[in-house]
Amino acid sequence: MRRIVLGLIYSILMRNFLRIIVGVKYHKQDLLKKNKQFVIVSNHNSHLDTMALLSALSSTQLVKTHPVAAGDYFGQSPVRAFFTRYFVNAILIPRTVKKGEQNPIRVMSEILKKGHSLILFPEGSRGEPEKMQEFKKGIGLLMKMNPQVHYIPVFMKGMGKVLPRGERLLVPFDAYVCFGEPILCRSTDVEAIVCEIEKSIMDLAEITTIKPEK
C-alpha cells in the first residue's frame, strides 16, 4: 500500500506537476538505476528540492529511499511528523543532539545497513538561491561508516527561485536537476570525503548547458 501511495504522489502527480507546471528539467536521471542502494547528496535552496529528487525515483526505489529531514522543524507536532514520515518517507533527525539521545549519524547508518537509501543535503539548511554553503562533516562520517555504499552527486539550479526560502507561492521558472555518476568514496578521512563530495557537486554545477531528457 505504501509503495502505491508514494508512487502515485511522486512518480505520477508530483513528477508531472514539476515538469509541466513548474518547468523542472532532469539531466541523466537514468544514472539512478545503476545501483540498488545509494546516498543522494545535493545542494539545497528550496523545500521543492526533496520533492524534485523523490520524483526522479522509480516507484520501487521510492519506498526504500528516505530523505533526511530536520526533526525540530518537521517534527514540531505529531501531525506534521506523521505526514513527513508517511507521505515523504523521511527520517527525522535532530539538528542539535541532547544528552542521552541517539547519534543521528548512527540512525542514518542503520538505515543503510538495512539496504535502504538516503537523500541528504550536506549544507544542513536552505541557503540563498544559487549559493552553496559549507558542507557539514556529517556526510563524511556517514560515508566513512558505509564505504560500500555509492553516493550520487546532484546539482540543482533554479529551485531556489521557484520557491525561495520563506515564500509559500510557487513561481514557474526553468530549473534543472543534474545527476552525476554513482561514486564510491576514495578516502577514509572524514574531511577528505566531505571535500570529495563537495567537488563532485561543484563539477556538475560547472555544466553551463544542460539538455533535459525527453
Q: Percentage of residues in the chain with pLDDT exceeding 70?
A: 83
**Of the candidates 132, 131, 163, 153, the residue with the CA atom closest to the CA atom of residue 49:** 163
Of 11-25, 68-82, 194-208, give the lowest mean pLDDT range: 68-82
Q: Residue 212: what pLDDT?
A: 43
On whether the CB atoms of residues 132 and 125 are closer than 8 A, the answer is no
Tens digits of residue pLDDT in 34-57: 999 999 999 988 878 999 999 999
**Residue 24 bridge partners (DSSP):** 175
Q: Residue 98: what pLDDT?
A: 67
The pTM (predicted TM-score) of the whole model is: 0.87
Q: How many other CB atoms sit within 10 Å of the CB of residue 189? A: 12
Domain regions of the chain by residue span: 2-205
Q: Residue 213: what pLDDT?
A: 47
3-state DSSP of the chain: CHHHHHHHHHHHHHHHHHHHHHCEEEECHHHHHHCCCCEEEECCCCCHHHHHHHHCCCHHHHCCEEEEEEHHHHCCCHHHHHHHHHHCCCEEECCCCCCCCCCHHHHHHHHHHCCCEEEECCCCCCCCCCCCCCCCCHHHHHHHHCCCCCEEEEEEECHHHHCCCCCCCCCCCCEEEEECCCECCCCCCHHHHHHHHHHHHHHHHCCCCCCCCC
More confident residue, 3 or 72: 3
**pLDDT value at 128 more than 70:** no
Q: Residue 168: what pLDDT?
A: 60
More confident residue, 103 or 120: 120
Residue-wise over 9-43: b if at least 16 C-beta within 10 A, else e? bbbeebbeebeeebbbbbbbbebbeeeebbbbbbb
**Residue 154 bridge partners (DSSP):** 42, 179
Cell numbers representing residue 158 in the block: 533554479
**pLDDT value at 170 more than 90:** no
Tens digits of residue pLDDT in 53-107: 999 999 899 999 999 987 766 767 888 888 888 899 999 887 666 666 678 999 9
Of 10-14, 31-35, 132-136, give the lowest mean pLDDT range: 132-136
CATH superfamily of 2-205: Glycerol-3-phosphate (1)-acyltransferase (3.40.1130.10)
**CA Rg value for the chain:** 16
